[in-house]
């Protein structure tokens, strides 16, 4: 998981720098919960190797997701199962049995060099606001290893 964090962090910093130079991302649009799914979300670009970043991913094809807190040297995560109903995500955390009813509002934006903004209301884990970039989609991923491979491929494509 630390490798994934480092990859996300480096890719995010590089792409944010690119976005400051060439503003060609999506324009702001209406908020939708479906945009929240199948995409990697982070709460901020890390400011150093000890800075903890919150990560949120929800994979629609498997109805599973993760809240992760990660720094270069330490990390923790909790997986959840979910059902999507409009802008509501009903989360169940299998380890504890806890449940959350979360309102997810994702939209195109241009804040801090990011292309998308996500607000989660009602989750007892993770951050309340997340951001994502064009190209951070994770279509068809089934587990954390596949997500990591997708991120590596996305960042390799950006480096060309």
Q: What average pLDDT does range 19-28 have in this prediction? A: 38
Alpha-helix residue ranges (DSSP H) falling in 50-129: none
pLDDT at 73: 85
Residue 65 has pLDDT above 50, yes or no: yes
Choice between 2 and 15, residue whose per-residue pLDDT is larger: 2
Q: What backbone phi and psi angles, to 5 degrees, belong to 104?
A: -110, 120
Residue 23 has pLDDT above 60, yes or no: no
Question: How far is residue 117's CA from residue 79's CA, in Å, rounded to a whole number?
Answer: 22
Question: How far is residue 4's CA from residue 68's CA, in Å, rounded to a whole number?
Answer: 11
For β-strands 129-132 and 116-121, DSSP reports them as antiparallel
Q: What average pLDDT does range 67-91 have in this prediction? A: 92
pLDDT at 104: 96
Residue 130 has pLDDT above 80, yes or no: yes
Q: pLDDT tier at 153 (50, 70, 90 boundaries)?
A: low
Residue 93 has pLDDT above 70, yes or no: yes
Give the chain's mean pLDDT. 78
Residue 26 has pLDDT above 50, yes or no: no
Taking the CA atoms of 111, 128, 61 and 149 in sequence, report the sign of the dihedral they define.
Answer: positive
What tokens appear for 98 in the block? 């806890």
Highest mean pLDDT of the ranges 5-9, 113-117, 154-158:
113-117
């Amino acid at each position: 998981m630390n490798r994934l964090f480092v990859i996300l962090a480096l890719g995010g910093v590089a792409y944010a720098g690119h976005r400051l130079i060439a503003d060609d991302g999506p324009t702001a649009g209406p908020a939708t919960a479906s945009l929240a799914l199948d995409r990697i979300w982070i709460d901020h670009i890390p400011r150093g190797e000890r800075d903890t970043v919150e990560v949120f991913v929800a994979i629609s094809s498997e109805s599973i997701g993760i809240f992760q807190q990660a720094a270069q040297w330490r990390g923790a995560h909790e997986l959840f199962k979910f059902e999507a109903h409009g802008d509501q995500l009903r989360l169940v955390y299998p380890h504890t049995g806890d449940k959350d009813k979360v309102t997810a509002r994702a939209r195109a934006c241009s804040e801090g060099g990011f292309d998308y903004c996500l607000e989660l209301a009602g989750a007892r884990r993770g951050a309340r606001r997340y951001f994502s970039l064009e190209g951070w989609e994770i279509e068809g991923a089934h587990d954390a290893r596949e997500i990591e491979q997708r991120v590596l491929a996305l960042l390799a494509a950006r480096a060309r």
